[in-house]
Structure 1
Amino acid sequence: MNSPTSSALPPYAVPGIQPLRVNEEGRHVEYRGHQLIRTPLVAAVFARVPETFLPLTEGEPLSREELCAALDVSSRDGLAWIVGLGDAVKSMVDSGGDFVDDDLIEEALAAQPDVVEVYHVDREVFDVVLARFLRADEMFARWLDAITAAHREFARRLGVELPY
């Protein structure tokens, strides 16, 4: 994958932030969350999530910075998004239905504005189809919000009282 200049990037790329990956046609862009923390939309969500996320199964606590670094978003058109999470996040959300029957992440994504369809592709990957075009920072803000909501609901279902 090459790195086109910012002016050659599609409109769903974030102005001034070079994507982590761009395909050869310059259409499919991918960002890790830590790249987008300073954008206004992500910063607003980032400011209201817990500073540290406690593990609900095995694992270590995650700072919100570490959480963002473990989440990614990618798209080739700004309407259909692939959102992913790293292994470190699995201790704070049930990504595979191992602990609760409902897909809490899928439900949290489906509850976000403008979501038409969500499909859980793999334990760490979700396809999200939107009713309207979003930029990568807008989609990431929704992804971070959904992960936080899924974490809180997972804790509630496990009977774990979170201090945040």
Structure 2
Amino acid sequence: MTIEKNHVVALQYTLNAIEENGAQTFIEKTDAENPFTFIYGVGMMLPKFEQEIEGLAAGDKKTFTLTPQEGYGEKAENASTQLPAEMFVQSGMPPIGAILPLQDQDGNHLSAVVTEVADDAVTVDLNHPMAGKTLNFDVEVVLTRPATEEELSHGHAHGVDGQSGH
């Protein structure tokens, strides 16, 4: 069975960022025991990522690269803000490099990277952590199957077997 719209896809991958000099920096890796699982074709993934894996079947392997424009966009130099120290009274001040889950005034979720910590504020970079990076994926499809009606109504995969609950 090949990957197509409304199919659950489970894949293992290695993700590296390609530096300007061509060197690769390791980002993350999944494996067959804990594959990355998602519903294909419903807007959950980067469009170019989905285009690259379309039509693959279990056991297929592929290596491909996404430019910053095909991935998370170029890094915006002015995309930073300061968060008041009061926000961290209960959790404690985060370390530099920490990724903070935030929500904007419209309810959109985003991740911010801590770039500076002072007594009165925490400065964060609002760019996606992968913004400006050329991404190299080595993928192997573990499984593809039609999504269940419940998965489609919930908007996410319920594991490789469709039975993993919430």
User: Which range, TM-score by smaller chain?
Assistant: under 0.3
TM-score (norm 2): 0.23
**Larger helix fraction of residues:** 1
Rg larger for: 2
**Larger strand fraction of residues:** 2
TM-score (norm 1): 0.23
